Amino acid sequence: MREDLPKPEAAAEPDELAELAEFMRRNRIAIIVSCAVVLLATAVAFLYRQRKLHSLERASQMLASARTARDVQTVIDLYGNTPYAPLAVLRLAKMEFNAGDYAGAMKRYDDFIGRFPAHPMASAAELGRVFCAKAMGRLEDARRGYAEFAAVHTNHFLHAHAVFGNARCLEQMGRYGEARTVYEDFIAANPNSPATARAEERLRAVKRSIEKISAQPQGQQNSLQGSSPDLPEPPSPLPNFAP
């Protein structure tokens, strides 16, 4: 007769669900607070992103619709921490330049370079300062600025303007031989550039001035040294920087 073997006792394993329920019961306040903190942080981050996007959109709209210097200054004042603030500073500088406030425009360009030295348009601001110097009659300072810009920024979209600015300063100082060399060098180095036709036009005007001076008696040549060829002064090429 087979003896009934005693059944092994069930292992005393903890009830995981009950244990979890007990843990949550004991720590329910801490858990609720933690969840609330996470939800609050998520909501704050979402609202911050939404507000930032709204600020960017609003700054873009205001700068695009700005018509006066006060309008542009308002963009700078209200949205100085957005990517549109640097563009607004440049636009304001251009507006002041066009209005004849060359000292004010130069101050704006200085402000831009000081606040945004790594901005992609910082080099354009540097050239803007040179245009201001020339407009204020500081021809030698401007000539050096143009020449340095052209030498450093050979592939810049304003390179040709810097070259022509250098040559124009030389013309206005009566240094026609040097101006001719600048134009000739540009034409030789950039035969297919859209600006080459302009350089050729300026070169012809400079040659006419040199011939005119050479044809005059020695006493009259000095009076013609500072005259400029019969072509209008090109305007500042710096764009308005509207988005």
Mean pLDDT value across residues 182-200: 95
Picking from 112, 109, 146, the residue whose alpha carbon sits closest to that of residue 129 is 109
Mean pLDDT value across residues 92-111: 95
Q: How many CA atoms lie within 13 A of 93 on its CB side?
A: 32
Give the lowest-confidence range in 17-31, 112-126, 195-209.
17-31
Predicted confidence (pLDDT) at residue 42 exceeds the cutoff of 70? no
Average pLDDT over the chain reads 81
Task: Please name the residue that has the structure tokens 């005007």.
Answer: 205
State the pLDDT at residue 86.
92
Catalogue all structural domains in the chain, each as residue range(s) with its CATH number: 30-224 (1.25.40.10)
State the pLDDT at residue 213.
87
CA distance 180 to 202: 9
Q: Which two tokens stand for residue 6?
A: 């005693």
Picking from 229, 187, 227, the residue whose alpha carbon sits closest to that of residue 208 is 229
What is the per-residue pLDDT across 149-158, written as a single tens digit (0 to 9) for each?
Answer: 999 999 999 9
